[in-house]
Amino acid sequence: MSTVNIHDAKTRLSQLLARVESGETITIARAGRPIADLVPHTRVDIVFGGLTGRIGYDTAHFDDTDGNLNALFGIE
């Protein structure tokens, strides 16, 4: 892991991104204090239905209607 200051990072951004793309982590510093890290992007796969069967709810809560709410929306 290497550290570069902000001015160098702005000047050599393309080179730094090429290094990050090859797996290196680069820290950007201001006045010697680290403020950000450039790290390789990792893809996160989304799994739909991953909680199927793990979360339950009682459908009885949805059976009764609220008369005031119905009136608000003009439903009889």
SS3 7: helix
Q: Convert the pLDDT of each residue in 11-28 to its tens digit.
A: 999 999 999 999 999 999
Token readout for 28 is: 């950007």
pLDDT score of 60: 77
The DSSP string of 8-55 is: HHHHTHHHHHHHHHTT--EEEEETTEEEEEE---------TTTTTTT-
Q: Is residue 62 over pLDDT 80?
A: no
